[in-house]
Amino acid sequence: MVSRQLSRRALIAAAGAGLLAGCTARPGSELRELVLATGPDGAVFQKIGGAIATLLARALPGVTIRARPSSASVENLHLLNRGEAQLALSSLDAISEHPNTSIHGISAVGRLYDSFLHLVVPAGGPIRRFDDLAGKRVSVGAGGSGTEFIVANLRRVTGASFTPVLFNQQESALALARGSLDAFFTLTGIPTPAITDLEQHTNIRLVPLVAQAQALARLPSGYYLPATIPATTYGAIPPCPTVVTPNLLLARDDVPDDVVEIVTRTVFVEAPTIAADRPEARRINIRTGISTGPIPLHSGAARWFRAVKG
């Protein structure tokens, strides 16, 4: 087993070295800037996107790499479509189903990790079940976020009625702590910084979403799966059943193959570096990286995965 793991690591390293040796002296020399659309304050998208941008700045000398904050998935798709970003993070459901976005000219660098839907409430409050949200003031994420998108699907399949508020993760956490919000949803990797910070000074709990996860999983798309937020993710908060959807790193098709090949290598070979301060990045791995659903791999990404797999 140990020798097999070592040979696998050696193969990955060799593929990466071969890639760099096979590129011109300045990969992506036709590019002046590469913009990576990430997410809002307090979100995993922003943390992981920022880490990827830092690594790409080293891997692509001569190209200015910029991590651009955003509302997350849906806004990121618009940024790609308008050419205001060349790379972006997005949940798979938003990519595939949002009625106001187009994936023409966009492909996948790879699948990264899954986002878990959280429903966060004050521990001493009256909301203990999903149905208790009726008539309450609830944040459904920032406008243009993957959270807003999945909660819209959730309300459609359950008929839930509450007063929606468009706050990002950080704004939601602050409003809940101040008592100006009854609950908030967030679709994010685990642990997510906004909730980790909130739990340090506010007694909170996560509301189970068993029936709701099953309802989403029955949608024809197949992009939702029941899952559980594990114990110890947020201090003493117990495990909580919910739903997950995958996240992809996307690229415009017009980004050169050699650049996307280096982006792919950087993300998957350097995943342990990304995960050093961002535990959710531990789920980034080559085995699941090619599982991008209906979104095809960028030709540069496909070339790197083929080299690694031999």
One DSSP character per residue, the chain reads -HHHHHHHHHHHHHHHHHHHHHS-SSTTTT-SEEEEE---TT-HHHHHHHHHHHHHHHHSTTSEEEEE--S-HHHHHHHHHTTS-SEEEEEHHHHHH-TT---TTEEEEEEEEEEEEEEEEETTSS--SGGGGTT-EEE--STTSHHHHHHHHHHHHH----EEE---HHHHHHHHHHTS-SEEEEEE-SS-HHHHHHHHHS-EEEPP-HHHHHHHHTSTT---EEEEEPTTTTTTPPPEEEEEEEEEEEEETTS-HHHHHHHHHHHHHSHHHHHTS-GGGGG--HHHHT--TTSPBPHHHHHHHHHHH-
Q: Which of 204, 214, 208 is nearest to 237 (CA)?
A: 204
| pLDDT score recorded for residue 103 | 67
| pLDDT score recorded for residue 12 | 42
Which tokens is 152 given? 């819209």
Q: Alpha-carbon distance 247 to 49, whole Å?
A: 12
| pLDDT score recorded for residue 95 | 87
The total of other beta-carbon atoms located within 10 Å of residue 254's CB is: 8
Buried b (16+ CB within 10 A) or exposed e, 177-208: eeeebbbbbbbbbbbbbbbbbbbeebebbbbb
In the chain, the N- to C-terminal Cα span, in Å, equals 19
Burial of 309 (0-12, 13-18, 19+ CB in 10 A): exposed
Residue 120 and residue 195 in contact, taking contact as beta carbons nearer than 8 Å: yes
| pLDDT score recorded for residue 99 | 56
| pLDDT score recorded for residue 272 | 95
* Residue ranges for the chain with pLDDT beneath 70: 1-29, 98-103, 310
- pLDDT tens column, 58-88: 999 999 999 999 999 999 999 999 999 999 9
Length of the chain in residues, anyone? 310
| pLDDT score recorded for residue 18 | 41
The total of other beta-carbon atoms located within 10 Å of residue 29's CB is: 16
Beta bridge pairs of residue 244: 116, 225
Which tokens is 290 given? 């090619």
Residue 41 and residue 168 in contact, taking contact as beta carbons nearer than 8 Å: yes
